Structure 1
Amino acid sequence: MDLQIIDETNQVSQHQLDLVKGILHCASEYLNLPENTEMSVTLMNNEHIHQINKKYRGIDKPTDVISFAMEENGDESDIILPDDFNFDVPKNIGDLMISMDKVKEQAEYLGHSEDRELGFLTVHGFLHLNGYDHMRAEDEKEMFGLQEEILDDYGLQR
């Protein structure tokens, strides 16, 4: 996976950066994504995610994670390639934004480690980028079950 991680806070530890990278690689293998899949993760504070949440979702408060998926049925027919073109176009699944302030707050509230919370939010957002949601009970059961499987496989059990 081609992964770009941006730490806007300049306070995220190397351990946490490695955790995000590792769990996303684990999750991408779990979903059998192509090796040339691309995505980005931006780690930010509550103030910045609040601005994004208000602008793009109309919700005037900070949130823990926001997923911006690329078009699920993107039309690549607008791209003109030579007939002898022999290159796999990478699949860009989108961008995640995670509030590191919320990671700390929610880990404390839920009584588990910040690693567990960061891993959970990363996998949760990643699954949204890959078309999973939890709007209906059966979808929630599938998505949350898959989240737990990935987190357990990576070693971030509750």
Structure 2
Amino acid sequence: MQLQPEHFISVTFETEVKDADSVRELIEKCAKNVLERENIPFDAEIDARVVDAEEIRRLNAEFRDKDVVTDVLSFPMFDYYNGAPREDLEPDPESGRVMLGDMVLCYTRACEQAEEYGHSAARECGFLTTHSVLHLLGYDHERGEDDTARMRRREKEYLEAIGLTRDDG
């Protein structure tokens, strides 16, 4: 009998990233951290893509009608609301995992924002991963002040739990 769910994070690089192995480990760590802290009780899977500015701009235009470079996009597979699923989730018969969705992170934009905000690229990538996984679980900062506050509290708490704070330099 499995006591703890096993979460799988697939990270694909579609652009050149300095120290890609560290970035991969960071994305995996942050995504799993959110899933564990949200008490996701089943084996979950997330596909993460690290892309360049042009690709994320294209996706943002195609799926959100916003023809601008953004930092991260989330494409949930299921209808969640603030961490609670609204429908039964069926695991993939081959892997036994439930695919939660896709995350697309623009590494160059993350590095630019890290410099703007005065913290490390690792902290920014960790924040964006945490932010995206929360979106995959139905959290949304665009629904209203209460939902925004709930999401921001979780982001801060989850990042602090793994040592990624705004003042990490």
Aligned equivalents of 1:65, 1:30: Cα separation in 2: 21
Letter in 2 for 1:152: E
Letter in 2 for 1:34: P
The reply to whether residue 123 of structure 1 matches residue 125 of structure 2 is no
| RMSD of Structure 2 on Structure 1 (CA) | 2.2
Secondary structure of 2:46's aligned partner: strand
Letter in 1 for 2:165: Q
Displacement after TM superposition at 1:90 (Å): 2.2
Contact 2:50–2:106 (CA under 8 A) maintained in structure 1:
yes
Displacement after TM superposition at 1:3 (Å): 1.3
In structure 1, what is the equivalent of residue 4 of structure 2?
none
Aligned equivalents of 2:113, 2:66: Cα separation in 1: 19
Pick one of 154, 162, 167 that aligns with 1:154: 162
* Structure 1: gaps of 5 or more residues: 82-86
In structure 2, what is the equivalent of residue 84 of structure 1?
none
In structure 2, what is the equivalent of residue 4 of structure 1?
10
Contact 2:42–2:98 (CA under 8 A) maintained in structure 1:
no
In structure 1, what is the equivalent of residue 146 of structure 2?
138
Equivalent residues in 2 for 1:92-107, closer than 5 Å:
92-107=99-114
In structure 2, what is the equivalent of residue 113 of structure 1?
120
Displacement after TM superposition at 1:10 (Å): 3.1
**TM-score when scaled to structure 2?**
0.82
Pick one of 31, 49, 70 that aligns with 2:56: 49
Displacement after TM superposition at 1:25 (Å): 1.3
Give % identity.
33
Letter in 2 for 1:38: E
**Higher CA-based Rg:** 1
Aligned residue pairs, count: 151
Displacement after TM superposition at 1:27 (Å): 1.2
Change (3 A) 1:114 1:71: same
Aligned equivalents of 2:16, 2:69: Cα separation in 1: 19
More helix by share: 1
Aligned equivalents of 1:16, 1:125: Cα separation in 2: 15
**TM-score when scaled to structure 1?**
0.88
Misfit runs of 4+, over 4 Å: 73-77
Displacement after TM superposition at 1:11 (Å): 1.9
